[in-house]
Amino acid sequence: MIRSTITFGVLLLAALVASWLDWTAEDSVDLEGQVVVLDGAASAISAVRWIGEETEATLTRRTDERGAYLWVEYNRWTLRKVQPEASDTGGTPETETERTANKAVFKSADKGQALLDSLSPLAAQRSLEVTEEAKLQDLGLSDPQSRIEIDRGDRTEVIEIGKEAYGTRDYYARHQSSGRIYLLDRELIQPLKYARTRLPDRALFGMARADLESAQVSAGGHSGMWVQRNADDEKQARWAPKENPDAAAEQATTWIDKFIGLKGTQYADPSDPPANLEERFQVALSDGKVTTTITVSQVGPDGDWYASSEYTRGLMKLVRSGASGLGDDVVSLLTDQPGDAP
Protein backbone atom coordinates (compact mmCIF):
# COMPACT_ATOMS: atom_id res chain seq x y z
CA MET A 1 0.00 0.00 0.00
CA ILE A 2 2.75 2.39 0.98
CA ARG A 3 4.75 1.41 -2.11
CA SER A 4 1.78 2.07 -4.42
CA THR A 5 1.19 5.43 -2.75
CA ILE A 6 4.83 6.40 -3.27
CA THR A 7 4.67 5.27 -6.90
CA PHE A 8 1.51 7.30 -7.46
CA GLY A 9 3.15 10.34 -5.85
CA VAL A 10 6.24 10.04 -8.06
CA LEU A 11 4.09 9.77 -11.17
CA LEU A 12 2.03 12.78 -10.11
CA LEU A 13 5.16 14.81 -9.43
CA ALA A 14 6.60 13.83 -12.83
CA ALA A 15 3.37 14.87 -14.54
CA LEU A 16 3.39 18.24 -12.74
CA VAL A 17 7.03 18.86 -13.71
CA ALA A 18 6.33 17.92 -17.32
CA SER A 19 3.33 20.25 -17.40
CA TRP A 20 5.37 23.11 -15.94
CA LEU A 21 8.16 22.59 -18.45
CA ASP A 22 5.67 22.52 -21.29
CA TRP A 23 4.05 25.72 -20.01
CA THR A 24 7.31 27.64 -19.61
CA ALA A 25 9.18 26.32 -22.65
CA GLU A 26 9.69 28.57 -25.66
CA ASP A 27 7.72 27.76 -28.79
CA SER A 28 9.63 25.31 -30.95
CA VAL A 29 10.48 26.11 -34.56
CA ASP A 30 8.88 23.84 -37.13
CA LEU A 31 11.71 23.05 -39.54
CA GLU A 32 9.59 20.62 -41.60
CA GLY A 33 12.28 17.95 -41.69
CA GLN A 34 15.18 20.30 -42.37
CA VAL A 35 18.55 20.10 -40.61
CA VAL A 36 19.70 22.88 -38.27
CA VAL A 37 23.08 24.27 -39.31
CA LEU A 38 23.25 27.21 -36.90
CA ASP A 39 20.94 28.06 -34.01
CA GLY A 40 20.41 31.41 -32.30
CA ALA A 41 18.08 34.41 -32.21
CA ALA A 42 17.79 36.87 -35.08
CA SER A 43 17.98 39.74 -32.57
CA ALA A 44 21.48 38.60 -31.58
CA ILE A 45 22.87 39.00 -35.13
CA SER A 46 24.84 42.23 -35.45
CA ALA A 47 26.06 41.77 -39.04
CA VAL A 48 25.89 39.40 -42.00
CA ARG A 49 28.39 39.43 -44.86
CA TRP A 50 28.38 37.85 -48.30
CA ILE A 51 31.81 37.57 -49.91
CA GLY A 52 31.74 36.21 -53.46
CA GLU A 53 33.68 36.36 -56.69
CA GLU A 54 31.38 38.93 -58.32
CA THR A 55 29.58 40.61 -55.43
CA GLU A 56 30.07 41.49 -51.79
CA ALA A 57 27.44 42.70 -49.33
CA THR A 58 27.41 43.61 -45.64
CA LEU A 59 24.18 44.04 -43.69
CA THR A 60 24.60 45.66 -40.27
CA ARG A 61 22.34 46.87 -37.49
CA ARG A 62 22.39 50.60 -36.76
CA THR A 63 20.58 52.84 -34.30
CA ASP A 64 19.89 56.58 -34.25
CA GLU A 65 17.45 58.91 -32.51
CA ARG A 66 14.64 57.52 -34.67
CA GLY A 67 15.35 53.91 -33.65
CA ALA A 68 16.97 50.77 -35.04
CA TYR A 69 17.39 50.05 -38.75
CA LEU A 70 19.37 47.86 -41.14
CA TRP A 71 22.05 49.29 -43.44
CA VAL A 72 23.62 47.56 -46.44
CA GLU A 73 26.94 48.20 -48.18
CA TYR A 74 27.25 46.45 -51.53
CA ASN A 75 29.99 46.01 -54.13
CA ARG A 76 29.72 44.50 -57.58
CA TRP A 77 33.09 43.66 -59.07
CA THR A 78 33.81 44.20 -62.77
CA LEU A 79 36.90 43.61 -64.88
CA ARG A 80 38.09 46.23 -67.32
CA LYS A 81 41.01 46.21 -69.67
CA VAL A 82 43.92 48.53 -68.91
CA GLN A 83 46.66 49.33 -71.41
CA PRO A 84 49.95 49.73 -69.52
CA GLU A 85 52.44 52.38 -70.52
CA ALA A 86 55.07 51.42 -73.07
CA SER A 87 58.44 50.42 -71.61
CA ASP A 88 61.75 52.07 -72.45
CA THR A 89 62.86 48.94 -74.26
CA GLY A 90 60.14 49.33 -76.84
CA GLY A 91 57.55 46.82 -77.89
CA THR A 92 53.86 46.71 -77.19
CA PRO A 93 53.00 45.74 -73.60
CA GLU A 94 50.27 43.19 -73.06
CA THR A 95 46.85 44.45 -72.05
CA GLU A 96 46.12 43.95 -68.35
CA THR A 97 42.82 43.60 -66.52
CA GLU A 98 41.83 45.63 -63.46
CA ARG A 99 39.17 44.65 -60.93
CA THR A 100 36.98 47.59 -59.89
CA ALA A 101 33.99 47.84 -57.57
CA ASN A 102 30.65 49.44 -58.36
CA LYS A 103 29.49 50.52 -54.92
CA ALA A 104 26.00 51.01 -53.50
CA VAL A 105 24.68 51.76 -50.01
CA PHE A 106 21.08 51.68 -48.85
CA LYS A 107 18.68 51.05 -46.00
CA SER A 108 16.84 47.76 -45.80
CA ALA A 109 13.61 47.13 -43.93
CA ASP A 110 11.28 44.12 -44.03
CA LYS A 111 13.37 42.19 -46.55
CA GLY A 112 16.52 42.62 -44.48
CA GLN A 113 14.75 41.48 -41.32
CA ALA A 114 13.31 38.50 -43.20
CA LEU A 115 16.86 37.56 -44.16
CA LEU A 116 18.01 37.67 -40.52
CA ASP A 117 14.99 35.59 -39.53
CA SER A 118 15.86 32.99 -42.18
CA LEU A 119 19.28 32.62 -40.56
CA SER A 120 17.79 32.04 -37.10
CA PRO A 121 17.95 29.14 -37.07
CA LEU A 122 19.83 28.54 -40.31
CA ALA A 123 18.35 25.31 -41.67
CA ALA A 124 19.52 23.11 -44.55
CA GLN A 125 17.53 20.91 -46.89
CA ARG A 126 19.71 18.01 -45.78
CA SER A 127 23.22 17.13 -44.61
CA LEU A 128 25.72 15.21 -46.76
CA GLU A 129 28.46 12.78 -45.88
CA VAL A 130 31.34 13.75 -48.18
CA THR A 131 35.02 13.07 -47.52
CA GLU A 132 36.60 12.33 -50.90
CA GLU A 133 38.54 15.23 -52.40
CA ALA A 134 37.18 14.50 -55.86
CA LYS A 135 33.60 14.74 -54.61
CA LEU A 136 34.38 17.96 -52.72
CA GLN A 137 35.69 19.39 -55.97
CA ASP A 138 32.48 18.38 -57.75
CA LEU A 139 30.49 20.25 -55.08
CA GLY A 140 32.68 23.35 -55.37
CA LEU A 141 33.88 22.93 -51.78
CA SER A 142 37.47 21.87 -52.38
CA ASP A 143 38.45 25.54 -52.68
CA PRO A 144 35.23 27.57 -52.20
CA GLN A 145 35.25 31.08 -53.62
CA SER A 146 32.23 32.41 -51.75
CA ARG A 147 31.13 32.48 -48.13
CA ILE A 148 28.64 33.92 -45.67
CA GLU A 149 29.83 35.34 -42.34
CA ILE A 150 27.34 35.77 -39.50
CA ASP A 151 28.28 37.87 -36.47
CA ARG A 152 26.25 36.89 -33.42
CA GLY A 153 27.52 38.21 -30.09
CA ASP A 154 31.29 37.84 -29.94
CA ARG A 155 31.34 34.93 -32.39
CA THR A 156 31.56 34.82 -36.18
CA GLU A 157 30.26 31.75 -37.98
CA VAL A 158 31.45 31.10 -41.54
CA ILE A 159 29.45 29.14 -44.10
CA GLU A 160 31.44 28.33 -47.25
CA ILE A 161 29.35 28.23 -50.43
CA GLY A 162 29.99 25.82 -53.28
CA LYS A 163 28.27 25.08 -56.58
CA GLU A 164 24.58 24.96 -57.37
CA ALA A 165 22.91 21.56 -57.24
CA TYR A 166 21.65 20.25 -60.55
CA GLY A 167 17.91 20.64 -60.99
CA THR A 168 17.00 22.51 -57.80
CA ARG A 169 19.84 25.06 -58.11
CA ASP A 170 20.17 25.01 -54.33
CA TYR A 171 23.70 25.50 -53.02
CA TYR A 172 26.17 23.08 -51.51
CA ALA A 173 27.66 24.58 -48.37
CA ARG A 174 30.12 23.74 -45.60
CA HIS A 175 30.15 24.97 -42.01
CA GLN A 176 33.77 26.03 -41.71
CA SER A 177 34.39 25.23 -38.04
CA SER A 178 32.72 21.81 -37.99
CA GLY A 179 33.46 20.78 -41.57
CA ARG A 180 29.91 19.50 -42.01
CA ILE A 181 28.41 19.74 -45.48
CA TYR A 182 24.83 20.72 -46.30
CA LEU A 183 22.47 21.58 -49.11
CA LEU A 184 21.08 25.10 -48.59
CA ASP A 185 17.95 26.54 -50.16
CA ARG A 186 19.00 29.07 -52.81
CA GLU A 187 16.63 31.67 -51.33
CA LEU A 188 18.91 31.82 -48.28
CA ILE A 189 21.76 32.90 -50.56
CA GLN A 190 20.20 35.04 -53.31
CA PRO A 191 19.09 38.02 -51.15
CA LEU A 192 22.70 38.54 -50.04
CA LYS A 193 24.34 37.66 -53.34
CA TYR A 194 22.08 40.12 -55.18
CA ALA A 195 21.46 42.53 -52.32
CA ARG A 196 21.47 45.55 -54.62
CA THR A 197 18.15 44.52 -56.14
CA ARG A 198 16.74 42.24 -53.41
CA LEU A 199 17.11 44.19 -50.16
CA PRO A 200 16.62 47.98 -50.61
CA ASP A 201 13.78 49.78 -48.86
CA ARG A 202 12.57 52.25 -51.51
CA ALA A 203 9.85 53.87 -49.35
CA LEU A 204 10.19 57.49 -48.28
CA PHE A 205 8.26 57.48 -45.01
CA GLY A 206 7.32 53.96 -43.86
CA MET A 207 3.66 54.52 -42.97
CA ALA A 208 0.59 52.99 -44.57
CA ARG A 209 -1.79 55.34 -46.41
CA ALA A 210 -4.68 54.30 -44.12
CA ASP A 211 -2.68 55.32 -41.02
CA LEU A 212 -1.91 58.85 -42.19
CA GLU A 213 -3.83 61.64 -40.44
CA SER A 214 -2.28 64.81 -41.86
CA ALA A 215 0.01 66.12 -44.59
CA GLN A 216 1.74 69.49 -44.54
CA VAL A 217 3.22 70.65 -47.85
CA SER A 218 5.69 73.54 -48.07
CA ALA A 219 7.33 75.20 -51.07
CA GLY A 220 8.23 78.65 -52.39
CA GLY A 221 7.37 80.41 -49.15
CA HIS A 222 3.91 78.83 -48.96
CA SER A 223 2.57 76.08 -46.74
CA GLY A 224 -0.67 74.11 -46.57
CA MET A 225 -2.03 71.54 -44.14
CA TRP A 226 -4.51 68.83 -45.08
CA VAL A 227 -6.16 66.05 -43.04
CA GLN A 228 -7.26 62.69 -44.35
CA ARG A 229 -10.94 61.82 -44.36
CA ASN A 230 -12.41 58.30 -44.69
CA ALA A 231 -8.94 56.83 -44.33
CA ASP A 232 -10.27 53.32 -43.74
CA ASP A 233 -12.11 53.28 -47.10
CA GLU A 234 -9.67 53.22 -50.01
CA LYS A 235 -12.29 54.36 -52.54
CA GLN A 236 -13.73 57.14 -50.38
CA ALA A 237 -10.48 58.38 -48.81
CA ARG A 238 -9.68 62.02 -49.58
CA TRP A 239 -7.74 64.98 -48.26
CA ALA A 240 -9.37 68.15 -46.94
CA PRO A 241 -8.05 71.48 -45.61
CA LYS A 242 -7.32 71.23 -41.91
CA GLU A 243 -9.35 74.35 -41.09
CA ASN A 244 -12.33 73.10 -43.09
CA PRO A 245 -12.36 69.27 -43.08
CA ASP A 246 -15.71 69.10 -44.87
CA ALA A 247 -14.52 71.10 -47.88
CA ALA A 248 -13.69 69.42 -51.18
CA ALA A 249 -10.02 69.51 -52.20
CA GLU A 250 -9.66 67.46 -55.35
CA GLN A 251 -6.35 69.00 -56.39
CA ALA A 252 -4.84 68.34 -52.96
CA THR A 253 -6.15 64.75 -52.93
CA THR A 254 -4.65 64.08 -56.37
CA TRP A 255 -1.30 65.71 -55.51
CA ILE A 256 -0.89 64.05 -52.09
CA ASP A 257 -1.93 60.64 -53.41
CA LYS A 258 0.70 60.91 -56.15
CA PHE A 259 3.29 61.87 -53.58
CA ILE A 260 2.38 58.92 -51.34
CA GLY A 261 2.99 56.62 -54.31
CA LEU A 262 6.41 58.13 -55.05
CA LYS A 263 9.29 55.65 -54.67
CA GLY A 264 13.04 55.86 -54.69
CA THR A 265 15.28 54.07 -57.18
CA GLN A 266 18.72 54.06 -55.56
CA TYR A 267 20.62 55.70 -52.72
CA ALA A 268 23.29 58.32 -53.33
CA ASP A 269 26.75 57.51 -52.02
CA PRO A 270 27.15 59.50 -48.75
CA SER A 271 30.85 59.98 -49.56
CA ASP A 272 30.05 61.47 -52.98
CA PRO A 273 26.66 63.24 -52.84
CA PRO A 274 25.24 64.98 -55.94
CA ALA A 275 26.42 68.55 -56.39
CA ASN A 276 24.20 71.64 -56.82
CA LEU A 277 21.26 70.06 -54.99
CA GLU A 278 18.43 72.58 -54.48
CA GLU A 279 15.38 72.02 -52.29
CA ARG A 280 12.07 72.12 -54.20
CA PHE A 281 9.45 71.21 -51.58
CA GLN A 282 8.84 69.43 -48.28
CA VAL A 283 6.05 67.12 -47.14
CA ALA A 284 5.50 66.33 -43.44
CA LEU A 285 3.33 63.23 -42.98
CA SER A 286 1.90 62.27 -39.58
CA ASP A 287 -0.02 59.29 -38.26
CA GLY A 288 -0.80 61.13 -35.02
CA LYS A 289 2.19 59.61 -33.22
CA VAL A 290 5.15 60.03 -35.57
CA THR A 291 5.84 62.79 -38.07
CA THR A 292 8.20 62.17 -40.98
CA THR A 293 9.42 65.11 -43.05
CA ILE A 294 10.44 64.30 -46.62
CA THR A 295 12.62 66.88 -48.34
CA VAL A 296 12.59 66.71 -52.15
CA SER A 297 15.47 68.35 -54.03
CA GLN A 298 16.74 68.63 -57.58
CA VAL A 299 20.18 68.91 -59.13
CA GLY A 300 19.97 72.35 -60.73
CA PRO A 301 16.86 73.35 -62.69
CA ASP A 302 16.84 70.34 -65.03
CA GLY A 303 18.72 67.56 -63.23
CA ASP A 304 17.85 64.45 -61.27
CA TRP A 305 15.51 64.47 -58.28
CA TYR A 306 16.33 63.21 -54.78
CA ALA A 307 14.56 62.85 -51.43
CA SER A 308 15.64 62.35 -47.84
CA SER A 309 13.80 61.87 -44.57
CA GLU A 310 14.22 60.58 -41.04
CA TYR A 311 12.98 57.26 -42.39
CA THR A 312 15.36 56.88 -45.35
CA ARG A 313 18.46 57.86 -43.30
CA GLY A 314 20.04 58.88 -46.59
CA LEU A 315 19.57 60.61 -49.92
CA MET A 316 17.54 58.57 -52.41
CA LYS A 317 17.20 59.18 -56.13
CA LEU A 318 13.59 59.42 -57.34
CA VAL A 319 11.74 58.43 -60.48
CA ARG A 320 12.24 61.59 -62.50
CA SER A 321 8.82 61.76 -64.18
CA GLY A 322 6.91 61.41 -60.91
CA ALA A 323 9.03 63.86 -58.94
CA SER A 324 9.12 66.54 -61.66
CA GLY A 325 5.34 66.40 -62.07
CA LEU A 326 4.87 66.99 -58.34
CA GLY A 327 7.44 69.79 -58.43
CA ASP A 328 5.69 71.50 -61.33
CA ASP A 329 2.32 71.48 -59.54
CA VAL A 330 3.28 72.15 -55.92
CA VAL A 331 3.15 75.97 -56.01
CA SER A 332 -0.28 76.04 -57.67
CA LEU A 333 -1.45 73.49 -55.08
CA LEU A 334 -0.46 75.83 -52.27
CA THR A 335 -1.69 79.08 -53.82
CA ASP A 336 -4.91 77.95 -55.56
CA GLN A 337 -6.36 75.64 -52.89
CA PRO A 338 -7.78 76.45 -49.45
CA GLY A 339 -5.23 75.94 -46.73
CA ASP A 340 -2.54 78.30 -48.06
CA ALA A 341 -0.67 79.89 -45.21
CA PRO A 342 2.16 82.08 -46.53
Q: 131: pLDDT confidence band, cut at 50, 70 and 90? A: confident
- Confidence (pLDDT) at 83: 64
Cβ atoms within 10 Å of 195's Cβ, excluding its own: 28
Name the nearest CA neighbour of 219 among 338, 325, 299, 334: 334
- Confidence (pLDDT) at 280: 97
Q: Could you read off the pLDDT of 50-93 as tens digits, one per residue?
A: 999 999 999 999 999 999 999 999 999 887 766 666 555 655 66
Q: Could you read off the pLDDT of 208-227 as tens digits, one per residue?
A: 999 999 999 999 999 999 99
3-state secondary structure of 194: coil
Q: Could you read off the pLDDT of 241-274 as tens digits, one per residue?
A: 999 988 878 999 999 999 999 999 999 998 889 9
The answer to whether 248 touches 290, Cβ cutoff 8 Å, is: no
Work out the angle at residue 102's Cα, subtended by the Cα atoms of residues 101 and 105, and round it to the nearest 5 degrees.
115
- Confidence (pLDDT) at 153: 87
**Global pTM?**
0.80
- Identify the DSSP state of 188: G
Which backbone phi and psi does 258 adopt, to 5 degrees?
-65, -40
| Average pLDDT for 2-8 | 50
